Chain A
Amino acid sequence: MKIDGTNTLPASVDTVWKTINDPEALRRCTPGLKELKAISPDNYAATLQIGIAAVKGTYAGTLRITDKQAPTHYRIILEGTGGAGFMKGEGTVDLEPQGDGTLLKWVGDIQIGGLIAGVGQRMLGGIGKMLIGQFFKCLEESLGSGS
């Protein structure tokens, strides 16, 4: 399932870049993230707790950041498996200045499998957008309070 969107954030490209690379900000803002442990730079062990449709599940996996072109571009890959199946989200983030703030463009591709796919697939687009929306709203708030 491919989804995309844009967000305008009230901070400079450099500040936004720093925030979206900050493990603490990622931990605070990624919805359902219960644990994030750095394994190596840009590579984290993650535990997620997410409900899709009627299926709440805990997923153990990894969060990786690759293809970094500071301060404007990276690829983020989130993978998890659990009793309710597996999920894999992969996306790119591009930053460009927009007035005083930053325009953040994201493109994501979400795959789910197993039980969650069987019962949740048709909700996935909406839920994916909602979760990503929550992520950026949280970032926006962090940046807003920081400035």
Chain B
Amino acid sequence: MSTRYAGARVPRNEDPALLRGRGLFVDDLALPNLAHAAVLRSPHAHARIVRIDAGRARRAPGVAAVLTHADLGEFGGPLPMLIPHPTLIHPKTQQPLASSVVRHVGEPVALVVAESRYAAEDASDLIEVEYAPLPAAVDLTAAAAPGAPLVHANTGTNVCAHYTQRVGDVEHAMALAPHRFRERLVVDRGTASPIETRGVVASWDPRTQRLEIWDSTQAPIPIRNGLAAMFHLPQPSVRVVAPDVGGGFGPKVMMFYPEEILVPLAAMRLGRPVKWIEDRREHFVATNQEREQIHDAEIGLDETGRILALRTVFLYDAGAYCPYGLIVPIVASTTLPGPYRLPNYHAEFNAVFTNKTTVSPYRGAGRPHGVFVMERLLDRAACELGIDRTEIRRRNLIQPDEFPYAVGLIYQDNAPVEYDSGNYPRCLEHATEMIGYAGWADQQAAYRAAGRCVGLGVACYVEGTGIGPYEGCRVTVDPSGKVFVSTGVGTQGQGHMTSFAQLVADQLGVTPRDVVVRTGDTDGFRWGTGTFASRAAVVAGTAASLAAQAVREKTQLVAATLLEARPKEIDLAEGKVFVRGVPARALSLGEVAAAANPLRFAMPAEWEGPGLEATRYFAPPRGTFSNGVHACIVEVDPETGMVSLLRYVVVHDCGRLINPMIVEGQIHGGVAQGIGGAYWEKLAYDAQGQPLATTFMDYLLPTAVEVPPIEVGHEETPTPLNPLGVKGAGEAGVIPVGAAIAQAVEDALRPFDIHITEMPLSPNRVRQLVAKARRTP
């Protein structure tokens, strides 16, 4: 078998269309007689709805319909609980339109459908909603305390879940530890900010009784299944298409957002297609957010810096509802141990409702928090014990001969956390070499002599990826010689059209340009779960390779008859099918495909059906664990608080690389989002729960100016958990950025002796830290 394309820097199949503006995003869809929807949202963080009068809006020019909760009937909710958990005792989900109480700014109250978006928005201004404001639970610590205003009146508490995972005997080990250090570590709220906001177009055909939805979602098949159940339709009567999606990052894998119910409902009731496109201001309040956690953590170590015990007790801000269950805090708890031996570990959290936008996974999904806690504790210990920060990490690393390594915890997929493979010491060596750690002390001294505050940071992580339950793929050779690949995982910019094409091309002896990957259309492939948890390449990629392998075997079988040879003697290369060693006895792959679909005469029974086509599924037993090390050099201006990144190095091991260029692209994007979360991006709220950053003037995304060139080093330790040996890479870039930058900023400001315990920083915050520094240089 040729392995020409897997592992190569193949240019992306999707780019020619996207770069020429020929992508098809939900908002590009123009259907005849299309109506446009606008959503009226709560301006209050918490209020009782006393009265809604939509009379004037209904009579406004161009208005086709106004829906309030009273109009929803059986569709009034609450919406389904996506991921329940036994300890989630208050599984609250929202209604598509609030009936009596609104619980965060931005919660939908009414949907207006009109001839244009302008008319819909003007009419939504005419809806009179009388609110009786209620006290809001905003601050996470205060919301968790007894006596706080209740987000859900009938729960008696804002704590919706309390969950503990333990390894070993932390109390005993901690008591015996000669060195113990405590930290309170805080990570604040952020939002993924995809270029494309959410959007839904729905069309109902009364003749065929078929509902078609175009949805900027990461999970078209679950949306199809859910909508079919809700509207009492068989699944083939509902088609959900996630066309080109301009970034997902996790928040687009909900089921459902209210608009995903309301827009189809309006289309069915009106008998005409309806479009809703979220505007950026809506996105800041109506699309799920993430990241707020407060950890009270303690580490116990022996004299040599070996970790004996670690305990974290933390609060997780769930927002107003918890449809996504406890995935984020469970991932935070289980990611914290990282690449280190942790014989005694206690992770305990309270998930807390607040009157803020609902939380669900955003790229990293709790991993950055766990890593921030572990790495900050190690930095503190290194400093207090006088051990070099890379040395203390080295002493605690799990060694290459210890795999598979059972951490002793249960992961988000309900399977044990068992590291399948890796070489953690080599990754650390690779990263410290790339950043020049050996010569750093001299270099830093030179900077200091020149009056510059420059610091270096190094942080390690392990990333759970590639979880089940399954994905599938169908590979079909067309008589034109093109190969069509269909799979259920949608794509939001990860390069699936190329990575999957490379895997298939290698099996069928064609080029990736000859392989057309179609994803995200439930009419194209019926089975699947979605694109999340860095799983597409691992699970759907393996399925694609297995299906292509089956097509290869079928091709050999058919060609053997045509070329009068044994199947085993048939080779596939350069689009040709030929007898090994006799290249003249050849057919094109397309000719074999045509011959595999005979018009007359008997078809050989061993073909098991016509065509060169096969469908295969892959269901991994559990997730596979990637790992890596980030190292960076920052310069801090203590006068202005400005932090500039001078260098950023990522050494990453995601097993066998399918396309190093695509993996690097994933890492670049992740690091950029990590830099945002470390220094620029913060969703601030006022004491009443009003969001204060709902534009890109106030919510600062890093731009090309703030993101340095990123140097990537690859390590390849294959996983035994799939035949390709691949692991996921989608979230690697973002995970340890906060931890690395915190260490680097501390290092840069070592003369001031500042101590960083929170993310994000900001120029203002760095100035405050300098102002209250323990030393003045």
Contact = CB atoms under 8 A, between A and B. Distances in A.
A139 interface: no
A117 B43 contact: yes
Interface string A69-102: 0000000000001110110000000000000000
B692 A115 contact: no
A132 to B, nearest CB: 20
B57 to A, nearest CB: 12
Nearest to B40: A83
Given A83-B125, A86-B43, A122-B698, A113 B690 contact: yes
Interface string B121-139: 0000100000100000000
Contact of A111 (B131, B285, B688, B691): B688
Interface string A112-147: 111101110110000000000000000000000000
Contact of B105 (A82, A83, A114): A114
A32 to B, nearest CB: 18
A117 B281 contact: no
Contact of A112 (B45, B281, B284, B690): B690
A119 B281 CA distance: 10
A122 B692 contact: yes
Nearest to B130: A81
A112 to B, nearest CB: 7
Contacts of A111: 688, 690
Contact of A119 (B105, B125, B285, B695): B695
A117 B690 contact: yes
Nearest to B691: A118
Contact of B690 (A82, A83, A121): A121
A59 to B, nearest CB: 11
B686 interface: yes
Main secondary structure of the interface of B (DSSP, over half): loop
A44 to B, nearest CB: 18
Contact of A118 (B45, B131, B281): B281
A62 to B, nearest CB: 12
B682 interface: no
Contacts of A81: 43
Contacts of A113: 43-45, 105, 688, 690
Interface in B37-54: 43-45
Sort chain B's interface into a size bin. Answer: 10 to 19
Contacts of A117: 43, 105, 686, 690-692
A114 B285 CA distance: 10
Q: What is the interface residue range for chain A against chain B?
A: 10 to 19
Contacts of B686: 1, 117, 121
A122 B690 CA distance: 12
B697 to A, nearest CB: 8
Nearest to B281: A118
Contacts of A118: 281, 284-285, 690-692, 694-695
Contacts of A114: 43, 105
Interface string B220-258: 000000000000000000000000000000000000000
Contacts of B697: 119
Contacts of B43: 81, 85-86, 113-115, 117
Contacts of B44: 86, 113
Interface in B149-184: none
Residue picked from B45, B281, B284, B690, most chain A C-beta under 10 Å: B690
A136 B686 CA distance: 28
A119 B688 contact: no
Contacts of A115: 43, 281
Nearest to A118: B694
A60 to B, nearest CB: 9
Contacts of B284: 118
Contacts of A85: 43
Nearest to A82: B125
B266 to A, nearest CB: 22
A119 B693 CA distance: 8
Nearest to B697: A119
Q: Chain B CB within 10 Å — which of A85, A112, A114, A115 has the most?
A: A114
A121 B685 CA distance: 10
Contacts of A86: 43-44, 131
A135 B697 CA distance: 31
Contacts of A112: 690
Contacts of B688: 111, 113
A68 to B, nearest CB: 24
**Nearest 5 pairs of A and B residues by beta carbon:** A114-B43, A118-B694, A83-B125, A113-B43, A117-B690
23 contacts: A1-B686, A82-B125, A83-B125, A85-B43, A86-B43, A111-B690, A113-B43, A113-B44, A113-B45, A114-B43, A115-B281, A117-B43, A117-B105, A118-B284, A118-B285, A118-B690, A118-B691, A118-B692, A118-B695, A119-B697, A121-B686, A122-B692, A122-B698
Given A86-B43, A117-B686, A119-B695, 10 more contacts: A1-B686, A111-B688, A114-B43, A114-B105, A118-B281, A118-B285, A118-B694, A118-B695, A119-B698, A122-B692
